Amino acid sequence: MDLPAVTIPAYGNLGPNFIVWDKGYLSRQQIVLKKVGGAKSYPEGLILKLDGNEFVPFDGTGSAVCILYQERTFGDAETARATGVMQIAEVQRAMLKFWGEVSEPQKEAAYASLKANHIEMR
């Protein structure tokens, strides 16, 4: 009897590689991502900010508020539901991602904004 193949992400069942630890549902929240610049998808670990009631990639302006938990594709839609790490977590700073050209001072400001939400960097 042939069993169907099961694809397991590289990070296994425990979560994305960028997370050192989090408090599960206490750390994560369902969010609505907004497509910008013709993006087809956003990678896990992307730092996000708010644009009205939707989340967009942090581009050096405003305040970083969360980190995209898993890669999310848009297809033809302009928005997509996703999960964001919003608070009480420790993450690997080197594995976080930015959208476009973001200067070092802007990156440091993003990390500080996340730290204000109790997201610690390792």
Q: What residue ranges do the domains of the chain occupy?
A: 19-121
**What's the number of CA atoms in the CB half-sphere (13 Å) around residue 98?**
20
**Which top CATH class is 19-121?**
mainly beta
Q: How far apart are CA 17 and CA 39, in angstroms?
A: 23
pTM recorded for the entire structure: 0.86
pLDDT of residue 12: 43
The answer to whether residue 35 scores a pLDDT higher than 80 is yes
pLDDT of residue 34: 96
* Mean pLDDT computed over 48-69: 96
pLDDT of residue 15: 64
pLDDT of residue 38: 84
Are the beta carbons of 60 and 102 closer than 8 angstroms?
yes
**What's the number of CA atoms in the CB half-sphere (13 Å) around residue 89?**
29
pLDDT of residue 59: 94
The answer to whether residue 4 scores a pLDDT higher than 50 is no
75-112 burial by CB neighbour count: b if 16+ within 10 A, else e? eeeeebebbbbbbbbebeeeebbbbeebeeebbebbbe
pLDDT in tens, 8-34: 343 444 568 899 988 888 899 999 999
